[in-house]
Amino acid sequence: MGMLLRALALLGLTFAAPLAAEDVAVAHSPWLALRFQQGGADAPLVNTDLLRTEVALKRAPFTIVLPRRGADDAYQIAAWRDASIFVAADVDARRGPKPLAELPPYFRPGTGYADTAAGSGVLKLGEDAHNHLTGLRLGPDPDRHAVFYSAIGADDAQGEWRETPIASSKRPLYLVAWFDADGDGIMRYGEFEFFVLNFR
């Protein structure tokens, strides 16, 4: 049954249905092959369906390890406080030969957060913006992409920007990661994934 669901997913014919009666532990995410590390060790990952990976993290800085695909790699990661960013991705409309061309609000052109040239270590949260990772923001190592985060940045209840250490995180964070593999500006099924970062 699991093989059938995976084959259907590759054809873009299934919704993010459960893989099995139980969640599946994995070494990396199923579509983009992302990994998470803390203290030099891989963090436990569990696929809860074909698009969603749960990540168990300590309340401490962490690194996202992204595959190196070419010289001009660009990953986009939207982060938020709840799963509403998953709904905004409109998964069903991104399947098939003519997927939805309109991007979710957080991945539209001009919505990348400003950051330093080599990255500030702050994972920025927003419903209508994303962390645009390219060049040195993917890390200084020429052999692999590794992005380090030690703080979370977001507007507070008064609309003021605040940056807090990850050690203060008490609630999960929800991420949508996208790599535009064919460079056409269309977020297609198989080019994006959902992550839930659970801090313990």
| Separation between Cα atoms, residue 25 and residue 5, nearest integer Å | 17
The CA-based angle 139-117-70, given to 5 degrees, is 45
| Separation between Cα atoms, residue 74 and residue 23, nearest integer Å | 30
Residue 3 confidence (pLDDT)? 41
| Separation between Cα atoms, residue 166 and residue 152, nearest integer Å | 6
Residue 142 confidence (pLDDT)? 84
pLDDT in tens, 22-81: 688 999 999 999 999 999 999 999 999 989 999 999 999 999 999 999 989 999 999 999
Residue 63 confidence (pLDDT)? 97
87 — phi, psi (to 5°)? -60, -40
pLDDT in tens, 83-126: 999 999 988 888 877 877 789 999 999 999 999 999 999 999 99
| Separation between Cα atoms, residue 168 and residue 166, nearest integer Å | 5
Q: Are 153 and 138 in contact (CB under 8 A)?
A: no
More confident residue, 15 or 118: 118
pLDDT band at 1 (very low <50, low <70, confident <90, very high): very low
Reply yes or no on whether the pLDDT at 18 is more than 60: no
Q: Closest by alpha carbon to 81, among 155, 171, 170, 16?
A: 171
| Separation between Cα atoms, residue 121 and residue 115, nearest integer Å | 9
DSSP SS3 for 136? helix
The CA-based angle 90-20-188, given to 5 degrees, is 25
End-to-end Cα, the chain, rounded Å: 33
| Separation between Cα atoms, residue 181 and residue 185, nearest integer Å | 9
